[in-house]
Amino acid sequence: MNSSPARPRWKRILVKLSGEALMGELSHGLDQATLTRIARDLADTAALGVEIAVVVGGGNFFRGIQGADKGIERARADSIGMLATVMNALALEQAIERERQPARALSAIAMPAICQPYSRQAALNHLAKGRVVVLAGGTGNPFFTTDTGAALRAAELSADALLKATQVDGVYTADPKKDPNACRYETLTHEEAIEKRLAVMDTAAFALARENRIPIIVFSIAGPGAIRGAIEGTGRSTLVTPSDG
């Protein structure tokens, strides 16, 4: 019986990680145990020879659209949200390095006193050297979600796949937390995801992935080894592919 581990399906991946995923059971901020678990998962996946970039959100501290609802103008609120992603990126960078895996945080908003400004060339250089690249600041512009930023960076960095980490184990016909009859899709095309208005990512992100023929794997980040399981095909997930996939 062959007990060797499954081979990763992709050489270079981009993981979209929400800020909320980092707060565990807390109401806001960073949960150290959760941060360590995700960092260990990233390090274990990198040890397989996979090149990894991570786009991290900031919703555990501040979300632009929520700030806009409270009277802060949208562009300013989104800028505050982008700063929240930098805080998460710095924390994740350190957590990954504690797992003895080199990492670099790069920000789309230039703040060289605390982390390297993002450029495509710098990110590719770090990936080639085996470092996990943690990307902060979204696209650097207001009115764009970090989902769209993740799809953009995946295209820029020629990622083989975009992994969307969520709180559920794939894409469902309805919200499984509200509808007990919701069914999980095993596979979808980008076109189907857009036409069905499946809310796991925004339409702009799906469209960018479709135009650049980047498959999206939607999976739950809740358990240990979730990222590694997603790329090895051993975990529950939904695969979203080009129509001729």
Q: What digits encode the pLDDT tens for the residues 132-150?
A: 999 999 999 999 999 999 9
- pLDDT at 97 > cutoff 80: yes
- Residue-range domains of the chain with CATH: 12-241 (3.40.1160.10)
What own/partner pairs with CB < 8 Å and gap ≥ 24 does 20-28 have?
20/57, 20/59, 20/60, 20/167, 21/165, 21/167, 21/221, 22/56, 22/60, 22/88, 22/91, 22/92, 23/60, 26/60, 28/60, 28/61
pLDDT tens digit sequence for 7-53: 678 999 999 999 999 999 999 999 999 999 999 999 999 999 999 99
Average pLDDT, the chain: 91
pLDDT tens digit sequence for 150-202: 999 999 999 999 999 998 899 998 888 889 899 999 999 988 888 888 877 88
Cβ neighbours, 10 Å, residue 154: 28
Assess contact for 173 and 180: CB atoms under 8 A: no
Residue whose entry in the numeric block shows the structure tokens 């920000």:
107
Q: Tell whether pTM > 0.85.
A: yes
Position 200 scores a pLDDT of: 76
- pLDDT at 56 > cutoff 70: yes
Given pLDDT bands bounded at 50, 70 and 90, which one contains residue 5?
Answer: low
Query: Which amino acid, one-letter code, is at 76?
Result: R
Given pLDDT bands bounded at 50, 70 and 90, which one contains residue 68?
Answer: low
Could you tell me the sign of the dihedral formed by the alpha carbons of 195, 200, 205, 209, in that order? negative
- The token duo for 212 is 């650049």
Given pLDDT bands bounded at 50, 70 and 90, which one contains residue 3?
Answer: very low
Assess contact for 98 and 108: CB atoms under 8 A: no
d(CA 23, CA 16): 15
Given pLDDT bands bounded at 50, 70 and 90, which one contains residue 2?
Answer: very low
SS3 72: coil
